[in-house]
Amino acid sequence: MILDQLSASAAIESLHSLFPQAFAYLRTFDEKTEDGKYELKGLDLVAIVQRYETAPSADKLWEAHQIYGDIQVVYQGLEYCGHADQKTLVVTHPYHAEKDVEKYAAPSDPSALLTLGRGNFAVFYPQDGHQPGVRAGTPGPILKVVIKFRI
């Protein structure tokens, strides 16, 4: 897992061949873009634009992926995102290949609680169980882009 400011993304762009294109899109993202999926490089690099309300931690499932990693960037709002080693999590919904997701029960002790606000990004790899969309205080609206990059 990586957590940083979008303005500092150049420091990690050499970690994956798709990162330069992904971060170029994220740095120039138009907040008027409608919700939906946008192929940036076929199915190897996909942007998912989403607007939603944050929710209590008890209402948000944990997840991890096998084929794709996530780059998550918040453009409006503030949310918490739990993080834990995927191997320590208990499966509640087995792996769904079409959606590349497995769901988990909340761990008794997450390794981190990340704060994602405007301009922050988090990168999650398959070993990173994560719980996005958790309210920070009271529920609030979020505009987020999740970039799915093929591992």
Q: Classify 137 in phi/psi space as left (phi over 0), alpha (psi -120 to 50) or beta.
A: left
pLDDT on residue 109: 76
What average pLDDT does the structure give for the chain? Answer: 95
CA torsion sign, 40 to 82 to 63 to 144? negative
CA dihedral 128→130→132→137, nearest 10 degrees, is: -120
Answer yes or no: is pLDDT of 108 > 90: no
Q: What is the DSSP letter of 112?
A: E
Query: pLDDT tens digit string along 123-150?
Result: 999 999 999 999 998 999 999 999 999 9
CATH code at 54? 2.60.120.370
Full residue range of the structural domain in which residue 23 is found? 2-150
User: What's the average model confidence in pLDDT over 66-74?
Assistant: 98
pLDDT on residue 43: 97
Answer yes or no: is pLDDT of 68 > 80: yes
Give the SS3 label for residue 13: helix
Query: What is the tally of structural domains in the chain?
Result: 1
